[in-house]
Chain A
Amino acid sequence: MRRLAVTLALIVVACGTGPAAAERLVVSLSNHRVAVTSSFVGEELVLFGTIEPDPITSPLRPPYDLVVTVTGPRQTLRTRRKERVLGIWVNIDSREFERAPSYLAVLTNRPVGAIANQNTLRRLQIGLDNFLLPQRIGADIADTIPDDPSRRAFVRLQNQQGLYRESGTAVTFLTPTVFRAAIPMPAAVPTGSYGIDVQLFSGGAVVARTNSALEVIKTGFEQYVADAARDYGLLYGMATAMMALLIGWFASLVFARD
């Protein structure tokens, strides 16, 4: 216990000399649960937050920049590239993206490149170009340069689906220390747990960091159907087939008088 206290004291001292201990982030999400119902067509969540001095007496150092990175549940996806063979377009090679986030939003108050230098961005995985997307290349798993064609194609295709996005205007500072971030949830948003990573920058370096989480779930009838399909596949299939027959029979009854 004493050793822990000493370590903590050392950390506090170490941080106290640097800039890292002067600010604290307090954030609150408008809704921690996105319920996917039969009328779900997408939703926008709002993250509110303030920048507070920590300890309370230390001075604030605006202007600040804020980076909110939202990541959805991990999936393994494969990009395939077509090439012409004997006049026909055929999938020639494919790359597997291991444990890539199914949803990735990088929301900032100004373009990512203006917030910090490239090394910092790369190290902190900020921005779609810098986020770690490991690919399986043969037996190895590694991320490639941002210009790698299959990585670029992957990000572009996910972006077209509204699943990957980078916005330099999604975060607004209401006062120099109060901000709001709009998190768009498209209609095709995957269900599961999402992580929200909030990083505060001042003068091109991170000065505070916090995180939050949200959950996208199916509710009511949608949940019931999805569970039934997964857990009782055979019964579900037989019920669907019976429904098909009933509807077919019913229609022929309705149309029988002629």
Chain B
Amino acid sequence: MQIYLPIADLPVNIFLVLGMGLAVGYISGMFGIGGGFLMTPLLIFIGISPAVAVATVSSHIAASSFTGAISYWRKRALDVALAMMLLSAGIVGTATGVWLFTELRALDQLDLMIGLSYVTLLTIVGSVMIYESVRAVMRTRRGMPATLRRPGSHTWLHGLPFKLRFKRSKIYVSAIPVWAIGFIIGFVGAIMGIGGGFLLVPMLIYFLRVPTATVIGTSMVLTLVTMASATVMHAATNHLVDVVLALILMVGGVIGAQFGARTGQKMRGERLRLLLGLLVFAVGCRFAYELVVRPDDLYSIRYVRNE
């Protein structure tokens, strides 16, 4: 069944889009990521213009991360204090990112920059996660505890001043790395048009030693706020949010996210991280492939303006 999208200006198959929403929603609920790095390329693939895709995906991510956040909240698997701290820095990061985005766009090499940053980030983050989680899985096989985290184990990060206690996550860390992570997520998210969940989850785990139990719910709160405000900003400045497309994606996304969140909570942390690592790495390779392999058509058309 075809339905015409009023802002994207083209008809799409409603069940295809619904299915994409379900699939990406499932993944996002399972890993606590927004799924923007999966959904945006998918939408572009079915013919929606990249600008409309990026703007619309943000509202879809807001919906599925909200439903995810609620279910983690019910299970007390969410650290509001930590999320608020990250958010306050994230807003500053987003503003800086939007500024740089505009500067890069003027140079007409934004696509390349986005492609390169996707490849670099996704492959590095993906391979680090795979490496770490494979080691953790091996350790559990040999009958040892899955994580090296012991009460009182410290890194140099714990030596920094302005320490804060986050009760829900049972961590006592300096505000400086929390702020730095929030800033980086906001900054990278604005440049790459993603929520940044796939970066935030590993950062919280490896740098702040946030337990896997609360990390996903916390990441979802951050994703929810950044993506809801991104929706409003995109709609107010570029007028590119397609509400019909958003609605179809959301309905699929929230249902998928519900099932995904259940699967995610049943799985063991290191297995979950291994899967996410593989997924992130695979998407990174896909982007690398696009950059390296000779494209089918060396030419492309870009819309400049109406006359």
Contacts and interface: CB of A to CB of B under 8 A. Distances in A.
| Chains A and B come from one and the same complex | yes
B42 interface: no
Given A39-B3, A40-B4, A252 B71 contact: yes
B128 interface: no
Given A91-B111, A188-B10, A237-B232, A81 B299 contact: yes
Interface stretch (A114-122, A195-203, A227-235): A227-235
Interface residues of B, number: 64
A187 B11 contact: yes
Given A36-B4, A241-B231, A252-B71, A78 B243 contact: no
Interface in B50-83: 59-60, 62-67, 70-71, 74
Given A73-B306, A79-B301, A188-B10, A237 B241 contact: yes
Interface string A86-107: 0111110010100100000000
Interface in B1-41: 2-4, 6-7, 9-11
Interface in B243-293: 243-244, 246-247, 250-251, 254-255, 257-258, 262, 291-293
Contacts of B251: 247
A82 B295 contact: yes
Given A79-B300, A251-B254, A245 B228 contact: yes
B236 interface: yes
B45 interface: no
Contacts of B300: 79-80, 82, 91, 157
Contact of A91 (B7, B112, B257): B112
B59 A38 contact: no
Given A80-B299, A229-B239, A37 B4 contact: yes
Q: Which among A81, A99, A190, A241 has the highest number of chain B CB atoms within 10 Å?
A: A241
Nearest to A92: B298
A236 interface: yes
Contacts, number: 199
Contact of A234 (B111, B236, B257, B305): B236
B168 interface: no
Contact of B250 (A76, A77, A223, A243): A243
Given A89-B292, A153-B299, A240 B241 contact: yes
Contacts of B302: 77-80, 94
A76 B234 CA distance: 23
Contact of A248 (B11, B70, B231): B70
Interface string A161-202: 000000000000000000000000001101100000000000
Contacts of B111: 91
A154 B301 contact: yes
A233 B235 contact: yes
Nearest to B231: A241
A44 interface: no
Contacts of A244: 59-60, 62-63, 66, 228, 231, 246, 250
Contact of A240 (B66, B231, B291): B231
A243 B232 contact: no
Interface string B69-101: 011001000000000000000000000000000
A226 B7 contact: yes
A150 interface: yes
A225 B4 CA distance: 12
Contacts of B67: 247-249, 251-252
Interface in A203-251: 218, 221-223, 225-226, 229-230, 233-234, 236-241, 243-245, 247-251
10 contacts: A39-B11, A75-B303, A78-B304, A82-B295, A91-B108, A158-B301, A225-B243, A240-B243, A244-B228, A249-B67
Closest 9 pairs between A and B when the two form their complex, measured CB to CB: A237-B235, A248-B66, A251-B254, A153-B299, A244-B63, A237-B232, A248-B67, A74-B307, A252-B70
Interface of B: 2-4, 6-7, 9-11, 47, 59-60, 62-67, 70-71, 74, 108-109, 111-112, 116, 228-229, 231-237, 239-241, 243-244, 246-247, 250-251, 254-255, 257-258, 262, 291-295, 297-307
Given A94-B302, A237-B232, A252-B71, 20 more contacts: A40-B11, A41-B4, A80-B300, A83-B298, A89-B294, A90-B112, A99-B307, A158-B301, A187-B10, A188-B9, A188-B10, A221-B6, A229-B6, A234-B236, A240-B59, A241-B229, A243-B243, A245-B62, A248-B63, A248-B67
